[in-house]
Structure 1
Amino acid sequence: MTPVSRRLSSGLFLPLMTLCLALVGTGAKAEDLVTIETSLGEMTFAFFPDEAPQTVANFKRLAQSGWYEGKSFYRVVKGHVIQAGSLDENSEPMVEAEFNHHPHLKGTLGLARDEDPNSGSTEFYICHGARPHLDGRYTVFGQLVSGEAVLDAIANVEVIEKYYDEDKKVAFHEPKTQVTIKAVRLH
């Protein structure tokens, strides 16, 4: 058996073919991919470096430094978004908004922020469904290319509704069982 046929028979063929097809479908190059390994599995995203260069560069910098390791998905709203990073203040720089033409679809990777469009920094969200009301209002910097079942698993965890503002305008649905980020790997 040749090394190639051994690899094909070892079960690597289908995952590699799926990834290749995903790359062709998004137009992404291999270096524009990131895999987020969570306690519930892995999700791989294609970055949009041409449309959100500062945001992609900032996310890559944080990923390479290990900043996301051990952080959790602290907000989970089924049908809306799952959000990770940290609610705590930190010294990481803000990134100017880079609004673009990418719509908020299931699997869209976006930069979370507060009311100020230029207040995004370390927190990100992943859409669990189409969210057209967010289009043009938040920086979209990637799209899910594999791991939809993991996205669904995270979105379906049992949550506790919490509010961090006195007006109770924004509910943060916190998972009862923490979903953590084990690693963020750039390709």
Structure 2
Amino acid sequence: MLRIALACLVLLSHVAFAGQKVQFETNLGNFVVELNNEKAPKTVANFLSYVKDGSYVGSIFHRVIPNFMAQGGGFDKSMKPLKTLDPIVNEASNGLKNNQATIAMARTSNPNSATRQFFINLKDNHFLDHSTGKDGYAVFGKVIKGFETIQKMSTIKTQSVGRYQDVPSETITIQKVTVLK
């Protein structure tokens, strides 16, 4: 009975993220993200616009904090901010949680300020979830393959670069991004 219950939980967790898949190729390895268009349609559409226009290629993971998250997509290797589209509405109230291996939108203190930067949770970070009186960070998918690449990012020593902290001393570059069929 326990095996059946566990199998159902695994199946349900997979169904919750059943959607389009995007593969990232980095200089540290590859990973695949499955998007949840049902629960985060505006966020997924925004993310895919950067994927499809090719502007994530050449961007870096510029902020990596071990046992927390890896953030990328917003800067080039010179730490120059990349062009953004208009900010999107925060969909953090969609019921998805900032669990380990989920991908969420980075933003400023303004809840509706997310543009192109995203982060991948290295562990469960429920303090980032939407709750009464707290806007939270919108989860819109999950790493379903290659999470060890994200974990590898967290082993690289970090440094401060100008006003930016937790910058990997070894540049982690997104080399290719592909929407999978």
Q: Which has the higher helix share?
A: 1
- The answer for the alignment partner of 2:45 in structure 1 is 57
Query: Deviations for 1:20-62, whole angstroms, at most 9, x for unmatched residues?
Result: xx99851255x51111111111111111101110110111111
- 1:90 Cα shift? 2.8
Q: Which residue of 1 aligns with 2:32?
A: 44
C-alpha spacing 1:111/1:145, structure 2 compared with 1 (3 Å): same
Distance 1:90 1:23, change over 3 A: farther
Aligned to 1:154: 153
Question: Residue in 2 aligned with 1:101?
Answer: 95
CA RMSD of aligned residues (A): 1.9
TM-score with structure 1 setting the length: 0.79
Give a deviation string over 1:136-184, Cα, whole Å, max 9, x none.
Answer: 10110001111121111111111114573xxxxxx72001110000111
Matched, 1:173 2:166: yes
Matching residue's letter, 2:141: G
| Alignment deviations for residues 101-147 of structure 1 (CA, whole Å, 9 cap, x no partner) | 11111111000000001000000000111111001101100011111
Note if 1:135 corresponds to 2:129: yes
Dislocated runs of 4+, deviation >6 Å: none
1:69-108 to structure 2, matched below 5 A, reads 69-87=57-75, 88=81, 90-99=83-92, 100-108=94-102
State whether residues 36 and 43 of structure 1, in contact with CA within 8 Å, keep that contact through their aligned partners in structure 2: yes
Contact 1:26/1:46, CA 8 A, preserved across alignment: no
Query: Equivalences for 1:109-124 in 2 at 5 Å?
Result: 109-124=103-118
Structure number with greater Rg is: 1
The number of equivalent residue pairs is 159
Aligned equivalents of 2:11 and 2:83: distance in 1?
34
Q: 1:24 to 1:181 in 2, by over 3 A?
A: farther
